Amino acid sequence: MKVQHVAEATWWLELESPDIARRAEWGQFVMIGFGVDHLDPPFLPRPFSVGWRSEEGRVGLLVRVFGAGSRRLASLRVGDRALLLGPLGRPFHLAPGKPVICVAGGVGLAPFLFLAGEARRDGYDVRLLYGEGSADRVFDPALIERLTGEAPVVWTEDGSLGHPGRVTDGVDGAGDQAVLVGDPTVLACGPAAMLRALAGRSAREGFRLQVSVEEHMGCGVGTCQGCVVPGADSRWRKACTEGPVFDASELAWSS
């Protein structure tokens, strides 16, 4: 167990879990909790993307504090024990040989730390666009470079670091060279509004888009039916087993 404060309200956790480390695929998540003896939040385990794994069996999670549950996770100390269930859910699917554009909003960065590093090693051309509100929230670009082999293109809404504006602007190539070239696969993880904006563009412009969505989860394995998101066919989809990664066209995007 290693815990490191990496940005405003954001912690990097490394946990021992050889089984999850070995089996995890890009975009999958774990449920992390503290077992049945623990009543304080998180009483229900919380979903977090696999943000990294090591050969030695460690799993990295990028945890941003939203409420009491994530606050407790962020206050874990070396020697504490947590309960991990995973790896869970459907991963991202890359189109063989095609370039990959990862669009990360906030802690939506987590799955791409994992994916970008390994996919590059597998020979993919991966570009990582990473947006935050402001510089103090940004996960150190040098650290990202160390984890993924390349520094990300950073956007901040207040312009305090990298390009000013929203990370979705980056998809246009604003402030940078064009990115939507070579029949890329776009992968996105971040706030619902960001995913919706990208889904709209993908529908209009026809690029392949996979999104990783968030919803409250109970079981993480498909039994509780708690985690549904609306499908394009007006059927619900379970974020835990049918997602969290969906083809954007599979989901209903009406606000």
Partner 1 sequence: MVELRQSVFGVEFQSPVLLASGTCGYGREYAELIPLDEIGGLVTKAVSVEPRVGNPPHRIAETPGGMINAIGLENVGLRRFIGEKLPWLRENLRRAHVLVNVVGRSAEEYAAVVAGLDGEEGFLGYEINVSCPNVEGGTMFGTDESALAELVGRLRRETERPIIVKLTPNVPDIGIYARICEESGADGLSTINTFPGLLVDVDRRRPVIGNVSGGVSGPAILPMGVYLTWHAALSCSLPVIGIGGIRSGEDALQYILAGATLVQVGTALFVDPSAAKAVHEGIVAYLDRTGTGTIGELVGALEARGPVLA
Contacts to partner 1 by CB under 8 A:
33, 35-39, 41-45, 69, 83, 85, 215-230, 235-236, 241
Binding mask 189-228 for ligand FMN (x = CB under 6 A): -----------------------------x-----x-x--
Per CB under 8 A, the list member of 2, 22, 23, 38 interacting with its own copies is: 38
CA separation for the pair 173, 246 (Å, rounded): 24
Closer of 38 and 216 to its own copies (Cβ): 38
CB 42, CB 73: distance < 8 Å: yes
Q: Which two tokens stand for residue 174?
A: 């604003």
State yes or no: residue 28 binds ligand FAD (CB under 6 A): no
What are the C-alpha distances in Å from 32 to residues 10, 88, 96, 113, 200? 16, 11, 32, 19, 33
162: left (phi over 0), alpha (psi -120 to 50) or beta: left
51 binds, among its own copies, ligand FMN, partner 1, none (CB under 5 to 8 A by kind): none
Q: Say which entry of ligand FAD, its own copies, ligand FMN, none residue 217 contacts (CB below 5 to 8 A, set by partner kind).
A: ligand FAD
Pairing, β 52-53 against β 126-132:
unpaired
Q: Which residue has the tokens 């956007």?
A: 155
State the residues that interact with ligand FMN by CB under 6 A.
218, 224, 226
